[in-house]
């Protein structure tokens, strides 16, 4: 599996996605710092939301082959500034999360936020039901 960096707002589903990718039991755990589990680098959502922490994400991206920007389909506001992917060295893809509890329209809006951030490729997943996970697994293999 490629070494990936997960980036997204607080509660968008980064840690749950990591658990799903590893086939671990899904259990809520607050992320307090950047850490690596296998080939996945997980980050706290606060690092995206607090401007002085953003550089920690950029530094972490030097260790990754692919940046995965996550946007929850249940959140209607964008969490990324336009062109945010240019901030990172490796290429970036977008993943819309929580499609199991969102409408088609909400999934589309979240995808549009990711496209505005610079992601040219968008996948739609649910870490809870497993929907879309085969496509994501194949993309980061």
**Interface with ligand GDP (CB under 6 A), residue from 8, 111, 118, 132:** 8
Q: Which is nearer to ligand GDP, 46 or 121 (CB)?
A: 46
Q: Using the rule CB under 6 A, is 43 a contact of ligand GDP?
A: no
The rounded Cα 103 to chain-centroid distance in angstroms is 19
Q: How far apart are CA 38 and CA 15, in angstroms?
A: 13
Per CB under 6 A, 15 contacts ligand GDP: yes
Do residues 117 and 69 touch, judged by C-beta distance below 8 A?
yes
DSSP class of 12: S
**The binder of ligand GDP chosen from 34, 41, 45, 107 (CB under 6 A):** 45
How far is it, in rounded angstroms, from Cα 74 to Cα 139? Answer: 24
Positions touching ligand GDP (CB under 6 A) are 8, 10-16, 28, 31, 45, 97-98, 100-101, 126-128
């Amino acid at each position: 599996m490629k070494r990936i960096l997960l980036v997204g707002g607080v509660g968008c589903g980064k840690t749950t996605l990591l658990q799903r990718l590893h086939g671990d039991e899904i259990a809520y755990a607050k992320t307090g710092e950047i850490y690596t589990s296998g080939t996945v680098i997980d980050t706290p959502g606060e690092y995206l939301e607090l401007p002085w922490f953003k550089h920690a994400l950029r530094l972490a991206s030097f260790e990754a082959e692919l940046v995965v920007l996550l946007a929850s389909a249940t959140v209607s506001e964008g969490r990324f500034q336009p062109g945010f992917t240019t901030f990172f060295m490796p290429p970036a893809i977008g993943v819309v999360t929580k499609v199991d509890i969102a409408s088609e329209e909400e999934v589309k809006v979240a995808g549009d936020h990711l496209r505005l951030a610079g992601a040219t490729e968008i996948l739609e997943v649910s870490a809870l039901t497993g929907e879309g996970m085969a496509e994501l697994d194949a993309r980061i293999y």
